[in-house]
Every structure is written in structure tokens, then in C-alpha cells.
Amino acid sequence: MNNAAKNFVDNIEKKLYLSIQEKTDSVTFKLEKVLKAFSEAHLGVQHFSSLTGYGHGDLGRDTIDKIFANVLEAEKAVARLQLVSGTHAIASSLFGVLRPGDELLSITGRPYESLEEVIGLRGNGQGSLIDFGISYEEISLQNDGTIDFSALEKALIIPRKLIFIQRSCGYTWRPSLSIEVIKKICYLCHKIQPECICFVDNCYGEFVENKEPTSVGADLIAGSLIKNLGGTISPTGGYIAGRASLVDKACCRLTAPGIGSEAGITFNLNRTILQGLFLAPQMVAEALIGADIIATAFRDLGFKVLPSAGSSRADLIQVVRIGDPEILQIICRSFQQKSPIGSFLDPIPAPMPGYENTLVMAGGTFIDGSTSEFSADAPMKPPFDLFIQGGSHRAHVKIALIHALSNLFQAGFIKLPQNS
């Protein structure tokens, strides 16, 4: 380990003391919310068991749903292992709610790449929304990456069935949306069109702030259990929450009309799902602390970062504008070498299902693809932005960061303070 790199990162952690303490203190409020939901559901060990077959009347599954609804302050929620990803949860929601002739309006610009084929912006004949006669429009973000409220107000002159809001930045250089901004969007949409559905892709945002979109006007939200709410231990799954009628429609798409949320076993993983939710506030706080350390380190080394260190955060993602494919791959290789799983692997750019661009990904995680555990990925295209997320404890983030900075220093790409 390079002593200069270690001292550099250690000093950053010391300078961030107040920010770290604030994030640590925030765990209490969120954990109390989870404990309250457990208590009100009268959660007991009997709820850890699940049924086989159809899963009709599964008490454990139904209790988990009630708990998620309580935590998310939603009329109804479902947490299902049959949802293979956040994209699947979002797709089930959109296909469940929208009908031929309806219009989907994205107000956060072009959605995350994995949704482009769901909508029908790429590919054809696969049963996309556009294939089923659902039209699509989008409103570009303003130059500073914020919502264009003026354009949204004008767009709402025409009846709109569903407004799509992507909370996280995705693979773009823009601020992720705070709960306050989402509240403002929902208020405007419902003021002009009371029946319009405000749908939020909530991936990466859960437990980052003290409220969730469903508590400030969002009609429907969806996300993945191998992100924040899974607490780094849920092995798969996703969730959908919001107005009961809309959640029911989404579930009819996930299973079948007439079945909806009334079937689907949990494969004896109830305890894991619930324990993951219990751990989630702490895991999210650790990831946010790690993100602040990373942002400060790369900023001090002359790289552009978003969000800036110490600023308020709306999700787990930390973006670093690397600007050079070789530096990008050194960082990803270094992170992989300090991963608990597959440390011997060398991340190389490769195509990924659902993505247009070749990606390089680092993250030997216990749950494959988990972004609550420490990972990083980047589209291999200029300006070579690196998207870093997760970290179940800041010590792991620091170890990986120190290793990456040491390797960059040895390769001559950065200079480190010798007496930091």
C-alpha cells in the first residue's frame, strides 16, 4: 500500500468528520421507521416461512408487503423475488398501467439505457411499449441538468396518462432528483391534470433522504432489492409501491390478470428480505460516506465530480469525469482487485444485455450485480465518466480507493501529496 495514498485518503476522512457524523446520525430516524413497520405488522419468526406452489394466502409474503408499504408510506407495496431487476419492476409497472393509445412522457430526458428497449427507442418487434401502441415523448433537462418546469407546464396542456421521473442520474452527467424536486413535480402535474400518474424510477434513492417519493405525491414507484432496500443481502427481487389500484395493475402484468399480487412464493427467503430491510439504513449511510470520500479525493486530484463532496445527495451514485479510457480501466481494475469476490478477474469492456454501449464494470459482490455493495461501471465512450456506487462499509471503499490511487500514481497519471 502506498503510504502517500493512504495518508491522503485518511486525511480526507478526518476533514469530512461533520458530514460523516450527519450521515451516521440519520440512520436512527430511518431505522426507527423500519422498526415501527415491523412492530405494527406484529412481525414474528412465523413469518420467515413461505409456502410452495402458487403461494396463495402466504402470510409471510403478505406481511412483507405490509411492511414495505409502511416504510415507503404507500397505500400498497409488493416485494417480489420474481422481479429480476429494477428494470423489470419498472417495465411491469409501465405495461401494467398504460394502455394502447396512452402516452408516456419522460421529463428527465432520455431514460436509463436498460429502459430504451422497454420503451421501444432501440430494437423492434420485442413487445415494447411503442410496439403496443403507447406513444412516447420526452422533455430534455435544462443545460444545468435540472428539470425544465416551464416546458413541463406547457406539455401538460395536452392530456397525459403517465409522467416518467427518473430519480437517479443514470449514465448522464446531471444532478439526481431530490425529494423536494420530486414533490414540486408531482404538485404541478396533479394541479394541472389531477388524473395524471406520476411514476418515479426510485432506483438508488431509497433511504438516502428521510422521505420517499410516495410520501410527497408520487402515485407509483419501483426499484430493485439488490440496491438500497435489500441491505446488501437480498439475493434478487424488486418492489413496486404506491396507489393500491396502480400496484394491482402492475402485479397483473407481473403474473396474470386475475392473479395479480395474490400468488408467487418467496422461496423461504422471507427472513433474508426482512433482515436486508433492517440493515438497509446503515448500509445506505455507509455508501453515502464512501461516496463523499471518493468525491473529495478525485476533486482534490483535479477531476470533476458530481455531486460535489459534502453536498446534499439524492441517491448513492458518485460520478467522476475521468476523461481517459486508460485511467478508467486502471481504476476499475484496482477496485476489482480489492473486491471480496473475483479479485483475480480483470474487468474488460464488454457488451451488456439491455445496454447500447460497451461497458466496463468492476465489483466482485456477494450478490451478483448488487449496487449496494461497492461497485463501479462506465460506458466506454467520451468523456469516460465513471459511476461509482454502494459500499457496505466505508473501510472497504477506502481500501479500494487507496489501491486505485496507488496504481494511478505508479503509472504516472496523478501526483499525491507526500506530507498530507
pLDDT tens digits, the chain, 420 residues: what are they? Answer: 689 999 999 999 999 999 999 999 999 999 999 999 999 999 999 999 999 999 999 999 999 999 999 999 999 999 999 999 999 999 999 999 999 999 999 999 999 888 999 999 998 889 999 999 999 999 999 999 999 999 999 999 999 999 999 999 988 999 999 999 999 999 999 999 999 999 999 999 999 999 999 999 999 999 999 999 999 999 999 999 999 999 999 999 999 999 999 999 999 999 999 999 999 999 999 999 999 999 999 999 999 999 998 889 999 999 999 999 999 999 999 999 999 999 999 998 888 777 777 889 998 999 998 989 999 999 999 999 999 999 999 999 999 999 999 999 999 999 998 765
State the pLDDT at residue 256: 98
For the question of whether the overall pTM of this predicted structure is more than 0.85, the answer is yes
State the pLDDT at residue 1: 65
CA atoms within 13 A on the CB side of 132: 18
State the pLDDT at residue 65: 98
Distance in angstroms (rounded) separating the CA atoms of residues 213 and 221: 7
Do the two domains 3-28+282-410 and 44-277 of this chain adopt the same fold?
A: no
- DSSP assignment string, 161-193: SEEEEE-S-TTSSSPPPPHHHHHHHHHHHHHH-
For residues 312-345, b (16+ Cβ closer than 10 Å) or e, as one string?
ebbbbbbbbebeeeebbbbbbbbbbbbbeeeeee
State the pLDDT at residue 419: 62
Class of domain 3-28+282-410: alpha beta
| Residue range 44-277, CATH number | 3.40.640.10
CA 285 to chain centre: 14
| Cis, peptide link before residue 383, omega less than 30° from 0 | yes
Block residue for cell numbers 408499504: 69
Domain limits, the chain: 3-28+282-410, 44-277
Torsional class of 5: left (φ above 0), alpha (ψ -120 to 50), beta (otherwise): alpha
State the pLDDT at residue 159: 94
Q: Are the C-beta atoms of residues 27 and 419 closer than 8 Å to each other?
A: no
Q: What are phi and psi of 392, to 5 degrees?
A: -70, -20
